[in-house]
Amino acid sequence: MSEEDLESKISILRKRVRGLFSSIQKGLTDIYQEDENYIKLGLSISKAQDHTVEKLETYVKSHQKGVKIREAKKDDIAKINQIYNESWNASNLPMKEVTEDLFMEIFEDDDTKFLIAQLDSEDVGFILLEFNKLNKEIGLISGLGVVPEHQGRGLGKYLALEAWNFFKDKGIKELRCEVYKGNKVAINFIKSLGFVEYGTSDEIFTLK
């Protein structure tokens, strides 16, 4: 693939994922497409291993049972779409209802992976992971959603730990994410995992 083709593919995926942010309210689509409206955070694998992972593993072992994380299949796209819409409808952030087609386009990209959280066999959350198309040693946490009735119960930590295990097995050296600056809950959660802000985007895509 030529450099121009790769840059075009990056641009297309970025627009698709950020399209989940687009609001039916006039002008807000442009807000969600601009880099300056996102906070960029990163965490080295070595730091995660020393600090973050132990905390997550301790939490998972000492809290609610019945939680399982599995890799999503094509048949799960409808459920992921439902979880996304429910979680955003319950937030105070501008958003729009999105279609399954957009999630399917993201799912079918070779560099993306959805993981689903199950609680007592019910699908209640998901996390979207990506490989940086320009540097395969960088793993991207691009979004996380949990249905409202199960928010605040630590499911994000289960998903974060499974994301770490997935990327570690793939030889990733750094984790990155990008959070819309108006989403204070997501920013605080990501920072609680040890992520710190940095200066450049390096083509990172996001749901939240």
Amino acid, single-letter form, for residue 27: G
Domain 3-197 adopts which CATH fold?
A: Aminopeptidase (3.40.630)
pLDDT tens digit string along 44-73?
A: 888 887 778 888 888 888 886 789 999 999
Residue 150 in 3-state DSSP? helix
pLDDT tens digit string along 157-168?
A: 999 989 988 998
pLDDT (0 to 100) of residue 200: 46
Please say whether the dihedral angle defined by the alpha carbons of residues 13, 136, 129 and 37, taken in this order, is positive or negative. negative
Domain ranges of the chain: 3-197
pLDDT tens digit string along 84-108?
A: 888 877 776 666 567 788 889 889 8
Question: Measured between alpha carbons, how far apart are the two ends of the chain, in Å?
Answer: 30
